[in-house]
Amino acid sequence: MRSASTPGAAPGAMSTYTYTSRPRAPPCRLRYRNGLTQQPDEPLPFGNIMYDRRVVRGNTYALHTEPQRGQTIDEHLQKAQETKKRAAAKKRAQEQLRPRTPEPVEGRKHVDVQTELYLEEIADRIIEADMECQTDAFLDKPPTPLFIPAKTGQDVATQILEGELFDFDLEVKPMLEVLVGKTIEQALLEVMEEEELADLRATQYAFEELRNVELAEVQRLEEQERRHREEKERRKQQQWEVMHKHKETSQKIAARAFSQRYLADLLPSVFDSLKEGGYFFDPVERVDIELGFLPWLMNEVDKTMEHSMVGRTVLDMLIREVVERRLNTYEQKEDKHPFLKPEDGPGGPGPTRDPATGDEFQEQ
């Protein structure tokens, strides 16, 4: 612990302080700031207070604003997270722009070396030492002993003399009688079974012979029935064919009679209609009269009718012209003699004849 006096304090006042770490030499700082080589946590040596970021400018009430209506706490948290992300991205970009040491060549590695002006001892390094030890080899496991359960009772012993427990001649006699009796009984059963099997074979042989005879008779009867059935079917088919032919013949006869009765009046009418249609004709009559005379006759009749029509037309025109002239003459006379009356003849009063008009009509 060391004591020191602070300037500007009272003469009798003393202040004490202690170091929290050992004194060390100051680091070697560059004369000018370099943005690429400067540590991110190292404070910037600002010289002008106007460019110090720690100085707040403007209204201090606008720094901490309350959230507006409609905004929630999640939006503020999201904005804070985005700010942190931008700061981390900016820090990573600065680290990428910082020049790095190239990779070591093969067989070497990088080691941190102090390049400061004053060297200092690195005391936080742990002292290491290599030690060796040898362990014993593993022994084989002994075989597991056989498990024998412990006894739960007591062992006792007794003495048995010869003939006390078992007499072979006496004890084997009933067993031998049973074995011999069973053998004889089994032999008798086998003989009886063989005789019974022989009887069964004889009975089976006789039954098979009888069955074969019956099967032959059944086959004969079936064949006879089949022949009868086929004959019956053949006779039925023949009868059906006869009936079918008879029916077909009767239908043909009826159709022929009907056709003859129907065609009796049909043929004359057909021939008449064909004749009227011009299918049956006389070549001389057709060529000379219809193709030669009748067209000439029709032309002559047309010419005569045309001449008659022309004459009638001319006559109508003449009559119209004469009537118009007489009408004009009569109108002129009426204009000249308005008070002239016709004289009465012996037969009574009558119209006056114009000799000029009559002569003109006769001339025409």
Count of structural domains within the chain: 1
Please report which helix (H) or strand (E) contains residue 82, including its range: helix 73-97
What is the CB-side half-sphere exposure of residue 22 using CA atoms within 13 A? 6
pLDDT along the chain (364 residues), means of 10: 42 52 68 54 60 73 54 73 91 81 83 76 75 78 85 82 78 90 95 95 94 94 94 94 94 90 81 78 72 84 91 92 91 72 46 45 44
The whole-number pLDDT of residue 239 equals 94
Tokens of residue 329, six digits? 């003459």
Position 286 in a domain: yes
| Closest C-alpha to 46, from 54, 38, 57, 35 | 54
Tell me 162's DSSP state: T
Position 23 in a domain: no
The whole-number pLDDT of residue 31 equals 61
Q: How far apart are CA 108 and CA 101, in angstroms?
A: 14
The whole-number pLDDT of residue 196 equals 95
Task: Provide φ and ψ at 345, rounded to 5°.
Answer: -90, -170
Which domain does 301 fall in, by range? 282-336
| Closest C-alpha to 352, from 331, 323, 330 | 330
Calculate helix-pair angle for 355-363, 294-336, nearest 10 degrees.
160
Tokens of residue 68, six digits? 């507006």
Tell me 7's DSSP state: T
Position 303 in a domain: yes
Position 288 in a domain: yes
Looking only at the bridges linking them, the beta strands covering 15-17 and 2-4 are: antiparallel
| Closest C-alpha to 326, from 288, 354, 286 | 354
Position 295 in a domain: yes
Q: How far apart are CA 143 and CA 120, in angstroms?
A: 65
Q: How far apart are CA 341 and CA 349, in angstroms?
A: 10
The whole-number pLDDT of residue 117 equals 79
Position 69 in a domain: no
Residues forming beta bridges with residue 348, ordered by sequence position: 345
Tell me 252's DSSP state: H
How do the residues of the chain divide into helix, strand and coil, expressed in percent and rounded to 5? Answer: 55, 5, 40
Each residue's pLDDT tens digit, 149-192? 888 888 888 887 877 777 788 888 889 999 999 999 999 999 99
| Closest C-alpha to 29, from 48, 46, 42 | 42
The whole-number pLDDT of residue 227 equals 94
Total-model pTM: 0.23
What is the CB-side half-sphere exposure of residue 194 using CA atoms within 13 A? 5
Q: How far apart are CA 298 and CA 315, in angstroms?
A: 25
Position 98 in a domain: no
Q: Which residue has the tokens 């006779």?
A: 235
Q: How far apart are CA 225 and CA 231, in angstroms?
A: 10
Position 62 in a domain: no
